Structure 1
Amino acid sequence: MTSKELQSFLDEKVELYNRPKFITTDPIYIPHQFQKKEDIEIAGFLIATIAWGNRKSILKNGQKLLQILDYEPHDFILNHTKNDFKACDGFVHRTFNAEDLKYFLTALKSLYQKYESLENIFAQHLPEKNLQESVHHFKQEFFSLPHQKRTEKHVSDPLKKSAAKRINMYLRWMVRQDSKGVDFGLWTKISPSQLSCPLDVHSGRVARKLGLLNRKQNDAKAVLELDNNLKKLDPKDPVKYDFALFGLGVFEAF
């Protein structure tokens, strides 16, 4: 397959899978229940954090998160007290438990009081080519309050070789300008060209079969390799191909 043929093939798959009809079966459905920017970015961050494993379980626990937040994420984050944390008791999604959630809510309150938006945190350390350094600094800021060491594993750090799949997915949601109405495009201080593809088992397998990725491990180096190859196909919106790679892997068993 030539480069032009590959681009044409992937563009067709983007057109097929970048559609609102898939929203209700995807974690992005959770923030799509809101209109306010801050509600969307808070709900999006929390559901992206637990977005691994069975999709039905992710969505079910995502709805539990919204219930804990009284379906007003921004208001809850700004105004909650420790007494409100009782609603967190018993929450668990795989290894993410109630204590992790309580810290996340505490950290988010601190960050919103200081920065007003999560966008401002990522934008303050903005490298030219990609956001991996921004993700690293975000994690440092996020865990600047006293916390259990185990909670740190729920935010990945690409500077420690992680593919950071969930945080890159979240950034795609917030930054990518999407005429189809799937991704939100709420954050304007970051360019879609700086986004990295959310690399997981499915997208990695498809990318290797298509010759877009040679590295065997799904790690930070693989993300960089895939990003560089996707930018050759579309330098302005490379992560649109996440829809194609994921769709081919999950829905077509490519």
Structure 2
Amino acid sequence: MPRTLDLKTCLDDLYAARSAAHLANDPLSFCHRYGEPADREVAAVIASSFAYGGIKIILRTLERVFAELGPSPRRFVERFDPKPGLRTFDGFKHRFNDGRDLCALLWACRLMIEESGSINAFFTRFHDSGAEDATAALDGYASAVRGLDYRPIFRKSTIPADSYFPFFFPAPASGSACKRLCMFLRWVVRPADGIDLGLWQGISPAQLVIPVDTHISRICSYLGFTQRKNADWRMAQEITASLRLLDPTDPVKYDFSLAHLGISEGCTGTDPLRCLNCAIAGVCPQAA
């Protein structure tokens, strides 16, 4: 219990110390460029989808994409026409996603909005408010998005094997940690606190699962939140269960600040001088 109390105090302090500099170094910053909730929702889908790889590359990719979306991402996707869109984004590349994949993502946003009125409403069709977490909702959402009609993009009824569009919508059922989808949910579900957006209704922050990337898996291993070696869905649930002991109603509140120990502060767990000055040095065995 003393260690749990120490951990909670330390992580609550870390949460309180989140800064505008951290936000500027995060794909979530693109959502904050817009004032309208509907624009922020669409921006969150797009920004989170490309949040893989090095942060500098992510931000460079998103600058290009959002420059095309203009002042209202929601209006852009509502009017998105795949034929000129494919020309606009011809040559686009973000690691293994190309312009077709980006156009399919924009088309998916248009179809979800046309079908349900918002992406929130499309997602919550698969959500059970009584479920322990969002596992089943993510399975249903990912499957439904992949099952939309992409013939205007791919010219065939099925997504071709050479497209990496399905990479945007993995599912817990496959064992994937679903890092970017969990991050997207954190952005739109958690209350607006200067970082997260507080956009969506119908999902409790207590049901969120932590987005597991290399930083979260490593740092949470140091803190004893997981014993697993593979960054998969089971690790994400195990870390989240540990964080629920610290805050049962909002366990994923700690994600942003923990991740930025690596993203912005350069934590690698191998530099004694950096460990000495780390905000969690007092509870992290790696800094001992």
Give the structure 1 partner of residue 69 of structure 2.
Answer: 69
Give the structure 1 partner of residue 160 of structure 2.
Answer: 148
Structure 2 gaps, min length 5? 150-156, 270-288
Give the structure 2 partner of residue 8 of structure 1.
Answer: 9
Find the aligned partners of 1:244 and 1:30 in 2 and give their Cα distance. Answer: 18
Give the structure 1 partner of residue 120 of structure 2.
Answer: 119
Give the structure 2 partner of residue 51 of structure 1.
Answer: 51
TM-score w.r.t. length of structure 2: 0.83
Q: Give the letter aligned to residue 92 of structure 2.
A: F
Q: Give the letter aligned to residue 222 of structure 1.
A: M
Tell me, yes or no, if structure 1 residue 219 matches structure 2 residue 232.
Answer: yes
Across the two proteins, how many residue pairs are aligned to each other? 252
SS of corresponding position for 2:139:
helix
Find the aligned partners of 1:43 and 1:244 in 2 and give their Cα distance. Answer: 21
| C-alpha contact (below 8 Å) 2:115/2:122 kept by paired residues | no
1:114-135 deviation line (CA, Å, top 9, x unaligned): 0111111221222311112111
| C-alpha contact (below 8 Å) 2:15/2:257 kept by paired residues | yes
Q: Which of the numbers 193, 197, 205 marks the counterpart of 2:218?
A: 205
SS of corresponding position for 2:235:
helix
Deviation above 6 Å: which 4+ runs of structure 1? none
Q: Which of the numbers 168, 175, 194 marks the counterpart of 1:161?
A: 175
1:96-107 correspondence to structure 2 within 5 Å: 96-107=97-108
How far apart are residue 102 of structure 1 and its match? 1.5
SS of corresponding position for 2:245:
helix
How far apart are residue 8 of structure 1 and its match? 1.1
Q: Which of the numbers 118, 126, 140 marks the counterpart of 1:137?
A: 140
Q: Which of the numbers 147, 170, 177 marks the counterpart of 2:191?
A: 177
Find the aligned partners of 1:252 and 1:95 in 2 and give their Cα distance. Answer: 26
- Higher mean alpha-carbon deviation, 133-142 vs 217-226, is at 133-142
How far apart are residue 99 of structure 1 and its match? 0.9
Tell me, yes or no, if structure 1 residue 38 matches structure 2 residue 38.
Answer: yes
How far apart are residue 140 of structure 1 and its match? 1.3
1:58-117 deviation line (CA, Å, top 9, x unaligned): 112112111222342111111122343121111111111001111112222111100111
Give the structure 2 partner of residue 21 of structure 1.
Answer: 21
Find the aligned partners of 2:122 and 2:197 in 1 and give their Cα distance. Answer: 18
Give the superposed CA RMSD.
1.6
Structure 1 gaps, min length 5? none
SS of corresponding position for 2:200:
coil
Q: Which has the larger radius of gyration?
A: 2
SS of corresponding position for 1:30:
helix
| C-alpha contact (below 8 Å) 1:164/1:220 kept by paired residues | yes
Identity of aligned residues (%): 29
Find the aligned partners of 2:224 and 2:260 in 1 and give their Cα distance. Answer: 17
1:195-232 deviation line (CA, Å, top 9, x unaligned): 11111111111111111111111101111111111111
Check 1:252–1:77 CA distance in 2 against 1; reply closer, same or farther (3 A cut): closer
TM-score w.r.t. length of structure 1: 0.94
SS of corresponding position for 1:2:
helix
Find the aligned partners of 2:233 and 2:240 in 1 and give their Cα distance. Answer: 10
Tell me, yes or no, if structure 1 residue 246 matches structure 2 residue 235.
Answer: no
Q: Give the letter aligned to residue 197 of structure 1.
A: I
Find the aligned partners of 1:220 and 1:185 in 2 and give their Cα distance. Answer: 24
Q: Give the letter aligned to residue 29 of structure 1.
A: S
Give the structure 2 partner of residue 233 of structure 1.
Answer: 246
